[in-house]
């Protein structure tokens, strides 16, 4: 490393030290200096078609690598990222938003510089609503300290942060930072001891306890601790939708994905009849619990999260998920009977009825049988997500979705982030036709950088998930001949799927060309829904 770093270089070095290799974004004149630094650095810059896609790609990258970075210009770039950053906040994804800005020397008085809104603080104030820490690097004396402070916050809270770089500061020499890296405040040992005693007692006296594993286990890197706990205690486990694939679904003891009325009857029964549910980092959101069709009794729940531990109806404010889970692994838990095999164990078999029209249900049956271990499934919200609940994911973290905030159009840009985060993986995107019209064009970015996602578009003529709620012309979209996109971007292979035979053929062909972009246009009936959505609909009706 050089002796003296500029602010731009110091920022890049700090990102490199924290496992970042790729930065997503689009330049603009207030950010050109930093983009120039980026291309001269060892980091790789990935230009998307539109800024919002850069935000989604960085979000996916952050979920897999621990930090994801999106860099843009002021106003017209930054303010396009509010939605993707809000999603990162809601779903605990540590995204670093870096925005160029007018120079310190330019903004004196009330200068009407382009891309300005109300005043020069507007963008910072907007981002203070959707990030956990913000820094404006306008003082070379403290810039390095500020960079470390906000990056620490992203890693500690697993939430997005915002960094603004005035363009005349990028090449200022940054004073070396002498402060030590942030040390999280230690938890309350006495409270932890008390909590562990109480939880151990509840678990040991329970007849049929169940672990409900959620997304925070993944975000805070506690998968090995979870496996240790399961193996030691022999308590079977389910996951939420957001936590799907947090550990392999082929492990002994796996019950399935629990999502209230969206889940399969057996999973529902196993969790809801348990006399002690140990919730490890599972957010009790409406989508995670099938629009609150879940029947979970707080009196039988131990719920550990990043923020608070709740046992029955009381809270331990200073006991976090990591401390609790790791202490529980060391507690005197009684071992139970050997775990049953996973309900998802064993190979799935799909026998295509060659000329039978394809349905949502059979798409997922087929995927379950065809997908190999190196495939990461990325589901866009809607039936692409609900249908995927029952898919078997073989390894950990090979399923990705925005299953809480649920921003349509996440999946195609996310595939770019996923494949760059780990080039051993090939992304398979499942996306509805409505969502594909929002951001599907980013297949152009994928081929530009030599990536090879398989993009499966479930075309049911519009926003299908909304039709059972309230239908109207507003749920329709203009029909697209999706195969024409390979001509637009002069790359990739497109398949049209009308029958089960078509689907097997397209998938097998796509899997056989691992270096190519593959588009599979699945033409469904407009009233065809996944089994999970049908289960939810009948459950909701049952409540009326």
Buried b (16+ CB within 10 A) or exposed e, 239-257: bbbbbbbbbbbebebbbbb
Query: With the CA atoms of 426, 430, 435 and 441 taken in that order, what torsion angle do they form, in degrees rounded to the nearest 10?
Result: 30
Q: Who contacts 218 (Cβ-Cβ below 8 Å, separation ≥6)?
A: 63, 243, 246, 396, 397
- Nearer Cβ to its own copies, position 222 or 494? 494
Specify which residues 248 forms β-bridges with.
none
In which residue are the tokens 């820094």 written?
135
Least CB distance from residue 247 to its own copies, whole Å?
A: 23
Are the C-beta atoms of 191 and 316 separated by less than 8 Å? Answer: yes
User: Residue 281 or 409: which CB sits closer to its own copies?
Assistant: 409
CB of 106 to its own copies, least distance (A): 9
Query: What are phi and psi for residue 449, nearest 5 degrees?
Result: -105, 20
Cross-strand partners of 190:
none
CB of 369 to its own copies, least distance (A): 31
CB of 363 to its own copies, least distance (A): 23
Which of helix, strand or coil describes residue 46?
strand
377 touches 371 (CB < 8 A): yes
Q: CB 313 → its own copies: shortest distance, Å? A: 14
The residues that bridge with 376 in the sheet, in sequence order, are 427
| Cβ neighbours for 536, distance < 8 A, ≥ 6 positions apart | 260, 261, 262, 290, 291, 293, 386
**Closer by beta carbon to its own copies, 182 or else 474:** 474
CB 62 within 8 A of CB 131: no
Q: Which is nearer to its own copies, 117 or 345 (CB)?
A: 117
- 106 vs 188, which CB is nearer to its own copies? 106
Smallest distance, its own copies to C-beta of residue 469, A: 6
The residue (of 40 and 351) whose beta carbon lies closer to its own copies is: 40
Strand runs labelled E in 351-402: 375-379, 399-401
CB of 484 to its own copies, least distance (A): 4
3-class state of residue 294 by DSSP: coil
Full 3-state SS string of 159-209: CCEEEEEECCCCCCEECCCCCCCCCCCCCCHHHHHHHHHHHHHHHHHCCCC
Q: Kindly report the backbone phi and psi dihedral angles of residue 85, in degrees, each rounded to the nearest multiple of 5, phi listed first.
A: -70, -35
**In angstroms, what is the minimal distance from the CB of 465 to its own copies?**
8
CA-based nearest residue to 417, from 158, 53, 90: 53
Nearer to its own copies, 427 or 462 (CB): 462
| Residue 273 beta carbon to its own copies: minimum distance, rounded to whole angstroms | 24
Closest to its own copies by CB, 447 vs 507, is 447
Partners of 174 in beta bridges: 5
Nearer to its own copies, 264 or 285 (CB): 285
Closest approach, Cβ 461 to its own copies, in A, equals 13
Nearest distance from residue 477's CB to its own copies, in Å?
Answer: 7
- Structural contact between residues 379 and 406, judged by C-beta atoms closer than 8 angstroms: no
Classify residue 472 as exposed, middle or buried by CB count within 10 Å of its CB (0-12, 13-18, 19+): exposed
Of the pair 358, 482, the CB lying nearest its own copies is at: 482
Please, which residue, 74 or 399, has the CB nearer to its own copies?
74
């Amino acid at each position: 490393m050089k002796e003296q770093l500029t602010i731009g270089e110091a920022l890049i070095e700090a990102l490199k030290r924290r496992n970042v290799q790729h930065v997503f974004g689009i330049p603009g004149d207030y950010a050109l200096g930093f983009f120039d630094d980026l291309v001269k650095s060892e980091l790789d810059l990935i230009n998307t078609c539109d800024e919002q896609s850069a935000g989604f790609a960085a979000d996916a990258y952050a979920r897999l690598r621990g930090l994801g970075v999106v860099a843009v210009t002021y106003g017209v770039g930054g303010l396009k990222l509010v939605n993707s950053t809000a999603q990162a906040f809601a779903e605990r994804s540590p995204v670093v938003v870096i925005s160029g800005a007018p120079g310190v020397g330019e903004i004196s008085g009330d200068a009407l510089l382009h891309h300005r809104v109300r005043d020069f603080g507007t963008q910072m104030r907007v981002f203070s609503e959707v990030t956990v820490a913000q820094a404006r690097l306008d003082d070379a004396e403290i810039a390095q300290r500020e960079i470390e402070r906000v990056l620490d916050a992203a890693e500690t809270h697993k939430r997005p942060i915002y960094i603004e770089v005035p363009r005349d500061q990028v090449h200022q020499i940054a004073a070396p930072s002498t402060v030590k890296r942030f040390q999280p405040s230690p938890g309350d040992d006495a409270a932890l001891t008390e909590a562990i005693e109480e939880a151990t007692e509840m678990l040991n006296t329970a007849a049929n306890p169940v672990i409900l594993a959620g997304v925070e286990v993944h975000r805070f890197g506690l998968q090995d601790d979870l496996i240790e706990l399961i193996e030691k205690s022999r308590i079977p486990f389910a996951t939420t939708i957001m936590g799907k694939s947090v550990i392999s679904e082929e492990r002994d003891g796996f019950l399935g994905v629990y999502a209230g009325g969206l889940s399969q009857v057996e999973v529902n029964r196993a969790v809801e009849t348990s006399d002690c549910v140990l919730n490890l980092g599972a957010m009790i959101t409406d989508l995670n619990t099938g629009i609150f069709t879940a029947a979970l009794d707080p009196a039988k729940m131990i719920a550990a999260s990043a923020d608070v531990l709740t046992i029955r109806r009381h809270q331990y404010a200073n006991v976090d998920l990591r401390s609790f889970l790791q202490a529980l692994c060391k507690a005197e838990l009684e071992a139970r009977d050997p775990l049953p095999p996973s309900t998802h164990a064993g190979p799935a078999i799909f026998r295509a009825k060659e000329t039978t029209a394809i349905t949502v249900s059979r798409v997922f049956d087929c995927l379950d049988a065809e997908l190999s271990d190196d495939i990461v499934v990325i589901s866009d919200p809607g039936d692409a997500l609900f249908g995927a609940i029952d898919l078997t994911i073989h390894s950990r973290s090979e399923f990705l979705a925005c299953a809480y905030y649920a921003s349509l159009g996440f999946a195609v840009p996310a595939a770019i982030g996923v494949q760059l985060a780990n080039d051993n993986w090939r992304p398979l995107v499942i996306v509805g036709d409505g969502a594909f019209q929002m951001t599907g064009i980013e297949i152009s970015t994928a081929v530009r950088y030599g990536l090879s996602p398989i993009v499966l578009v479930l075309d049911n003529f519009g926003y299908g998930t909304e039709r059972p709620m309230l239908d109207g012309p507003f749920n329709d979209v203009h029909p697209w001949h999706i195969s024409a996109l390979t001509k637009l971007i002069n790359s990739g292979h497109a398949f049209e799927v009308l029958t089960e035979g078509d689907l097997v053929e397209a998938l097998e062909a796509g899997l056989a060309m691992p270096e190519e972009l593959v588009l599979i246009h699945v033409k469904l009936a407009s009233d065809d829904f996944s089994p999970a959505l049908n289960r939810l609909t009948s459950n909701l009706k049952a409540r009326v």
